[in-house]
Structure formats: structure tokens, C-alpha cells
Amino acid sequence: MDNIKRVEPRTLSGFMELLPQDQIKFNEMLDKIKKTYELYGFLPQETPIIESSEVLLAKAGGETEKQIYSFKKGDKDLSLRFDLTVPLAKYVAEYYNDLTFPYRRYQVGKVFRGERAQKGRYREFYQCDIDIIGDGKLDIINDAEIPSIISTTFKNLGFTNFIIKINNRKVLNGLFDELNISEKMTDILIIIDKLEKIGMEAVKEELRKIDVKQENIEKIEEFLNISGTTDEKLDKLSKLGFKSEIFKEGLNELEEVVKYVRLFNVKEENFMIDLTIARGLDYYTGTVYETNLKGYESIGSICSGGRYENLAGYYTKKNLPGVGISIGFTRLFYNLKELGLLDDSKKSISKVSIVTMGVGLENAVKISNVLRDNNIPNEIYKEDTKIKAKLNYANNLEIPFVIIIGEEEVAKEKYTLKNMITGEQELLAIDEIVEKIK
């Protein structure tokens, strides 16, 4: 083997790869998200990572398209999925006749974007999506259930200091309608989206640049500055006296959503109306959501989404409205780790490492089987090393218990159980060991 040309083993930048301790935490959190989604009755979905470029890029354009990993294999143009929404649209259109609506599904999987490499940005990352898709229509109460799902998810992940910001695109569009500047809607929304990052003065400057009149800029500023409690905001919005139909519809939806969000047990401190949430680059048409960790706003939204009028228009004539959210999990995990907010308890898979001192392998196997039958992950240390190395192994892997088997133990059919945290040792029978560890 030793005149072979070696390649330096390295992982591409922008691709997350974890050591075991972190991987255990990563998987635990991902499992909690999936379990929470299932507690709300969402069905699992899994679409391929590779799709035909024609299908995947039916709608895409601009910035997105440039980031997509596309390639040819034989005569086929292929692409890696860049989100889980386009594959969902394809899936629902393709299997429409086999699905039951409203179709509630979750998908947790990796997506791929060849973004410019920078800290905390990943080119391969997990998204955790849920969507509820209606056939022709979908009740507004679904929009109110979403914050409840976000809230339960982050609570199950161990967070209480989150705030779900809710807005409605129709309220914003209604404002532009009222001001007769609807033709500039998309540009204005994109500028408003930058508010948190660049501040009000810069937003106004940008609005000026796209020729929004000073008078309207002031009205937009006034609108975005509407403050107070949730109910005060709703009250101020209705007192604006706007005549725009789209505004009235949006306000009505926002009121409904707030009413039912409360019914769905989301605490007052965990949600708010935020009229500056626009999500201008997305395809949302009604309710929109962003979620921040209070005190850590700089990491941006940790869960976003909204209502869209028609999911799969590029694939089918069926009208399929929906509402959904996405957690960009890889980035969230990275940020939590950087901020020191990850669960810092020691993690292990094995709860017990069984070591033999020259004798007792048969006993070790028996104990291992009994522990496994009791659903206790464990392993037998099999290498011929000194006891110190055997204990170090357990220590390194944060395994909380070691069972030591020597001649005395084999003779007595009782085994030394060592608690690796306290250092305590006891001589116990198998069933006592099981009891102790459980």
C-alpha cells in the first residue's frame, strides 16, 4: 500500500460535517422537529434529491437559478433540489388523484444551493417543512394553526424566548392599492424587507430612488410605525379607514388569524403582529410568518413561511392553495452552537460499556443481550488492552456506566457496575443492573 498516491482528506467548505457529540445533538433536535410535526398529524413525504431540470426549474429564475447545481448525465438535464416546495408542488400535481385533501405533509431533507461561501451559510443544508394544501380552497383557520405548530416545535426544542411575527401581504398590498402605487408593489416589498437590516432612513432613501412620492413615503413610514399591543395594532389598522378591498380582506384575515392563534394556545409573549414583515421575494399572497429568538435577532428568522394562493400552477390547472413554514435547520444548529445555546449536557449513544478482564466474554454477551432486550443501548469493549484504555474509551464517548467483568464477577455471577460520573462502584446481579440503569 505504501507507494500509493494519497489525496488529502477534506470536506468542501459550505458543507456541514460534525463530530459524534454534535451529531447526536443534531439528530436529537431533528427528531424532535419530526415528532412535533407528526403530533399535529402531518404525513411524512420524501421526494428525490435529483429531479429533471425542466421540472425543477419550471418557475425558477434570477438569483435562484444561478445557485442551482445542474448537470448532464447521458442525455438528461438534471438538477439537485434547492428547496422542498417545488418538489412538493410537483408531487401534489403528479399524485393529485391518490392524495386526500387537505394534504398535510412534512418533509425533512437536504437541499442544495451553490451560494457564495460565508460564515454560517451552507451549500447543502436541511430544511424542515410543513405545508397544508387544499383542493380549491383552504380555511383561514389553517393559517392560525401554523403559529401553534411553530410554538410547540421550539418549546419541544427547549426554547421559550421566541417570537412569531405575523403579517398579511394583502394588508401591505392594500396600503399600496390605497396609495395608488400597486404597480411598484414588488420593488417596495423588497425594500421593506430590508428594514431591520438597513433602518428606516435607508428604506426611505431607496423608496425615493424608485420614484415613490414623498407624500406616499411618509404614509408608508407612518404605516410601518404603527405600534402597540396586538389588539391596539388591529384597532389602529381598522381606524385608518382605507377603502381598498384588498386591504379590508387582509385586515379581516389578520383579525381571524389573531383570534384563532389565541385559541390555539399560543402565548401572548410568543407572537405579535409585525407590519414590516413582507417576504417580498417569496410567492406568498396572504398571511406571512417570521420567527426570531429574542435577544438573538442578528441570526435572522429561524422559521418562516406563509399562505400562497396556488402551489402548483406550473404543473397543473388544479387550484391548490396552501400554507406552510420552513426551518432552515443546518443554519439554526450552526448559530445555536456559535451562541452557546445548544443543550450542553453530555451525550452518548451507549449507556453502558461492558469490559472483560481476560475472562467472562460469555457473561458479557449475556449481559449485553439482556440490556438490549430492555432497550438499553450498550456495547462490549473487545480489544485486548489495559483496563485504563478500556475505561478511557467510555470516558471519551461520555458513556455513563461501565460494567467490569473479572474472575470474581464470573464466579459470583455478580458484576461491577461503575458510574463513570461519580466513580461509584457496586457489585450487582444482572437484573439489579438493569433496574439501576433504567
Does 75 bind its own copies (CB under 8 A)? Our answer is no
Which span (172-180, 202-210, 236-244, 348-356) binds its own copies, by CB under 8 A?
A: 348-356
Torsion sign (Cα): 34, 37, 39, 41? negative
Among 341, 338, 366, which residue's Cα sits nearest to residue 433? 366
Least gap, CB of 179 to its own copies (angstroms): 26
Least gap, CB of 405 to its own copies (angstroms): 14
- The secondary structure of 147-158, three-state, reads HHHHHHHHHHCC
Residues 155 to 214: which contact its own copies by CB under 8 A? none
Among 276, 301, 282, which residue's Cα sits nearest to residue 290? 301
Does 44 bind its own copies (CB under 8 A)? Our answer is yes
Residues 120 to 139: which contact its own copies by CB under 8 A? 123-124, 134, 137-139
Contact 350, 377 (CB under 8 A): yes
Which span (95-103, 186-194, 249-257, 272-280) binds its own copies, by CB under 8 A?
A: 95-103
Which residue among 3, 7, 118, 215 contacts its own copies (CB under 8 A)? Answer: 7
Least gap, CB of 202 to its own copies (angstroms): 32
Query: Quick one: 41 or 241, whose CB is closer to its own copies?
Result: 41
Burial of 50 (0-12, 13-18, 19+ CB in 10 A): middle
Query: Quick one: 18 or 198, whose CB is closer to its own copies?
Result: 18
Give the x-and-dash track for 297-336 against its own copies (CB under 8 A): -------------x-xxxxxx-------------------
Among 325, 341, 333, which residue's Cα sits nearest to residue 165? 325
Report in angstroms the alpha-carbon separations of 268 from 48, 192, 261: 40, 25, 9
Which span (23-31, 194-202, 242-250, 279-287) binds its own copies, by CB under 8 A?
A: 23-31
Which residue among 338, 396, 412, 425 contacts its own copies (CB under 8 A)? Answer: 396
Q: Give the separation between CA 33 and CA 27, rounded to whole angstroms.
A: 10
Query: Quick one: residue 241, left, alpha or beta (phi over 0 = left, psi -120 to 50 = alpha)?
Result: left
Number of residues that bind its own copies (CB under 8 A): 103
Which span (108-116, 216-224, 267-275, 278-286) binds its own copies, by CB under 8 A?
A: 108-116
Bridge-based pairing state of the strands 70-73 and 50-52: unpaired
